[in-house]
Structures are given as C-alpha cells and as structure tokens.
Amino acid sequence: MLVLVAPGQGAQTPGFLTPWLDLPGVEDQLRAWSGAIDMDLVHYGTNADADEIRDTAVAQPLLVAAALLSAKQLFATADDLAAQVGASAGHSVGELAAAALTGVLTDEEAMRLVRTRGLAMAEAAAVTPTGMSALLGGAPEAVLPHLEKLGLTPANVNGAGQIVAAGTLEQLAALAEDLPEGTRKAVALKVAGAFHTHHMAPAVSALEAAVAELSPADPRTAYVSNKDGGVVAEGREVVTRLVGQVANPVRWDLCMETFKELGVTGILELSPGGTLVGLAKRALPGVETVALKSPDDLDKARALIAEHATPAAAPAE
C-alpha cells in the first residue's frame, strides 16, 4: 500500500524548482498559478535567496506548487492517482497539497487558499518575534513538561524522537540553554513564526472567510489529518481542519501510526522531499521510501509506485 506525502515549511531551499522547469509544461503551469495568486512562483523557486523564501507568505505557496507539480510527473490524471495511492497526507502546509491530490480541492483552489494562508500567518507572525526549534532526542514524558515550564508549545509532535517547540525568541533562547533531559540539541527551523500555536489565532479568521465559498468534494483517496492522525472521509471536514490546524499542533506521529494501521509498504514524499522520509525510516522500519528532491529521482519514484501501488484500488464514483 502506497502513501503519498507532501512536506511542510522549512523544506524549501534556494533554486529548488530550477531543475523542474526543464520538464515539459512545468513553467507554463507555474506561470498560470502565479497569475492566479499574484506571486511570481518562477522567480521565487529559481532566483530568490534563502531569506526571501523563508518569508511565510512566499514559502507556503512554493511548497504546495512543488508538491503538485512533482505529483503530476508521476500520475497522469486524478483517476490514475486514485487508482494507485492508498492514502495521502501533508505535514502542516503540505496538507493543502494533500487536499488537492485527494480531490477535495482543485489545484487552483489549493493555490489560492495557500496564498491566503501564507499571508495571514505572516501577518500574525509579525505581531511578536517568534520561531520554532526542533528538539532531537528525548522522550515525550521528559520533553513536554519541560516545554510547558518554559511557556513553549509542542507545535509539531513528529515521532521518531522529534518534537518541535514554538514560542517567542526569548523562550526559544531559554530552551537552547536549558534542554530537556535526554535531548541532544535544539535546531532552529527556517520559518518566520511560531506556527501551530496561539500566536497564529488571527490567521484562523482570515482562512474561515477564504473557505466560505468553497464547495469541497469528498476525498477520493484516504486523507490522513494532522489534527489526530484520523482518516477524514468528508471534504467539508477536511477544509474545516485545514483552517483550525494553523493554530493547533501537528501530530505527524499519529499520522504515521495511521499509515501503519492502514498497511503501508511504501511512502513517496513529493518535492522538496527528504524530511518526512527521514522520519518514516526511523518510525516505520521496513517501509520502502523515496524522497523526490529533483527530477533525477523520478525513476526511483516510478519504481516505488509500480511495486507498492494498491492493485485492487479503483477510482471513486
């Protein structure tokens, strides 16, 4: 059983879309989406520096565009994807890519919504200097009370020994000086705010307004939610969760538990892949993985699909 996953913010690097533009139709698609969201995705994905693409309002649309573009190189149609993929999920902003991949939203709806999300979260982040740090090692029973003591939020519980703390820069500095027992180090993430915490509450209302006119379809492939690792069967519920998730923790650990319960044998991480596959290798031993980092990885991805696609799956009615 194949699971398709889309990475979250922090996975972007300068110029990461450049090699994809050599593939037929990719630049045209990027320019079409750029016009729809009033943002030059080609520029930011090829020529912008690290500081420019660290901006939340820029990073989030870039990541969703990259995930969707790379998926299009592997699945000719939505029916093709639905017939071969057993489940799909995204980490944080990657959930919007998963919503499009599973048919809940159209690609353009997902791009418009992620543009609104990025702008709203950037505005919320500008109110107070905040950030996020990944804690490597340490058991949850030691880490979580320590974060609470420092006033920090466990914004991402990623499993495989990784919890991401979020809060003010002062709180994160205190954490770096006083790590929880068993934690090896704290690594500052390439993000511009304390996402998935109360600091993002102002962004929720902006997203509620943005989704009011949408008519989401029910997922054609099992959609696994960051909220609790649950499989969500109704499109409107997927969208409701997408809105609320910006101010609530990401439970990627529970998503991976669900993959296991569903019988996952292969995980394919869309561009810019690497982070989620790294977590899966530690949390789901024996599951074959491929991370799409560039078009050079497409043949490996096709081989993974051929081996692990769900043969009995059929497009939903």
Measured CA angle at 298 (ends 297, 303), to 5 deg: 105
Active site residue ranges: 92, 196
Alpha helices by DSSP H, listed for the chain, are 26-37, 41-46, 50-54, 56-72, 78-84, 94-101, 107-125, 140-149, 169-177, 201-211, 235-245, 252-262, 275-283, 298-308
CB neighbours (10 Å) of residue 133? 23
Give 275-305 as a 3 state SS string: HHHHHHHHHCCCCEEEECCCHHHHHHHHHHH
Measured CA angle at 250 (ends 150, 111), to 5 deg: 125
Hey, what are 36's tokens?
């729809």
User: What is the distance between the alpha carbons of residues 201 and 158, in angstroms, rounded to a whole number?
Assistant: 22
